[in-house]
Chains A and B, each alone.
Chain A
């Protein structure tokens, strides 16, 4: 029943834990990025792991959980601010089963589990998205917004639209898992 989504095998690098990272994605500072496993980074995505907190050594800048999808042309950039006179980047944490649609810019501080973010969205700096929330396509979330669990946000600026059904968690989990299994390599 599940229609597979095929991709040429050479286009993606598959890691031991099942992450699939496109060769056409721009991954800066990979040593500062954690992928949870079975996460897909699509073509043209930009992940800025190089924008880390000032100071020596490694620091986790962006962490993504399991079964995530970073859509085509997405930009994942850690949030920054000047606090007490010093400019700094702050880490970004993204939970499990999170799908981010194509051409979306994410500068959130935290994104919970089972979150769906649509296409062409802008998620402002230091946004906190709680579990099972959903951001509709073309939504602009201004900086410092908090999005409560099980709510749908849409519009510009993004507003609360409705409560999501109680079974959202199961639905999103099944969908993200099936997306991963459908995403298959073909030899050419």
Chain B
């Protein structure tokens, strides 16, 4: 496993100190750098969990058509063109004619495009060979299938019931929104949708203990039009007949696959049939592009371009453009040389730390800091002292005093010492292209040997500086009886030049470094367990 460095996002928590690296909550608070955002206004890191998300546009994932939001509702969030999903495997279906001359092979080849053939047409899955003729869904002509299918969906009893319910509540909603609580909607912009409002007021009415969600003035509530609502009568009386048929079905069940799996049922639009033979093709659900905002200051962090398939963004404030990138590796020059001697070209993934981290050993590592800013920065690193694992994680066999000793010690350049990292300049990007690595790598090899060959404490400090990268050496000393993984929190602070020419600004964040799993010493292990 390659060593990783993950970055901490406090997620608006008041306590900026992350949990110890071995705590289960730790993995939820640390993210790879490229998944984080940075709010300039708040001067803070934001992650996908603590940004507020808005839909900026809808598109069909199959035909990539951008659906205007006005028609999204009418089309019930599904594609209104010729995109259908197989009810069995969720693959895209293609329209095929029931041409008798076409064999199985022919079906595969005609795949959707310019179908010429005899009606009736049906939908066919290229993957699991399901076809819609099995459930009596056939079409006279190969166009406008979505409309036909939607008509079918809309005539489902559940859908009609829902429409009626909506109609029933519509006057009430309109009245309540016009009598409105402007200040309430302002303070909760995320919850202004009418269904939430209706649900919360219904809940407040039915259950005395529940406070109505919208903090409306007390006096107004009594006068509200809510009481004028007439009683709702459902279209059909719910009777218990359905259950017996299901029992019957289950009794005659021969194979598990006859029952529709949960994943097959919940993609279905209205009816969620129990039998897999009742599953019907559905139109493909739309997907959306999202705008992301900082949840504290409401500034936009991510704003995609309008075009659905564009990967560019109008606004993109990602942490990688603000925080220094860090990567960690174990130097292994000998190994690389061995590899070169071998005739086969091999993957690089297994070279790092290939020898493994043996308990009782000392391993130097290299930490590369890359500056994304156009100004030079000074970085200070501080590894959090290794807290002995709490009693519940301590091995059952280990005696208490043994568990108290930290399993490993990390040595980094002293926290006071500032590590300079040069500014980023576009020119280096081009140099990258122009093969500067030929010469550079020899140098790298030398450095590596020096770092690796140096005794205790020698390899600690700045090893190499090139372009906007500074490589820092550190080492980890693993205890004799240590086990588990080498994971520690590291506090990183860096100073950068601010708009104010006199004072430099400082930014501090936590990271968690995972160097890998300790290989226990087998001999010691057997003795202690006795």
Binding site for B on A (CB under 8 A): 1-8, 11, 22, 42-43, 72, 81-84, 114, 124, 126, 130-132, 140, 142-146, 148-151, 157, 159-160, 163, 165-171, 177, 181-182, 184, 186
Contact = CB atoms under 8 A, between A and B. Distances in A.
B366 to A, nearest CB: 6
A83 B113 CA distance: 9
Contacts of B112: 144
List of 6 A-B pairs having minimum Cβ-Cβ separation, nearest first = A6-B340, A7-B345, A142-B127, A1-B368, A181-B437, A167-B34
A144 B109 contact: no
Contact of A83 (B114, B308, B316, B469): B114
Interface stretch (B88-96, B176-184, B413-421, B507-515): B88-96
Contacts of A131: 309, 311
Nearest to B367: A1
B34 A165 contact: yes
A144 B126 contact: yes
Given A3-B332, A157-B90, A167-B320, A146 B62 contact: yes
B348 A160 contact: no
Interface residues of B, number: 60
Contacts of B444: 1-2
B111 A144 contact: yes
B108 A1 contact: no
B310 interface: yes
A84 B94 CA distance: 17
Q: Residue among A3, A81, A132, A151 with the most chain B CB within 10 A?
A: A3
B63 interface: yes
Contact of A148 (B128, B287, B332, B437): B287
Q: Residue among B302, B327, B348 with the most chain A CB within 10 A?
A: B348
Contacts of A163: 290
A43 B64 contact: no
B59 interface: yes
A5 B347 contact: yes
Nearest to B301: A166
Q: Residue among B116, B366, B437 with the most chain A CB within 10 A?
A: B437
Nearest to A6: B340
A159 B327 CA distance: 32
B309 A148 contact: yes
A143 B329 contact: no
B43 interface: no
B92 A166 contact: no
A132 B63 CA distance: 18
Interface string B455-475: 000000000000001010000
A163 to B, nearest CB: 8
11 contacts: A4-B348, A5-B348, A130-B64, A142-B92, A144-B112, A166-B316, A167-B318, A168-B34, A168-B311, A181-B435, A184-B441
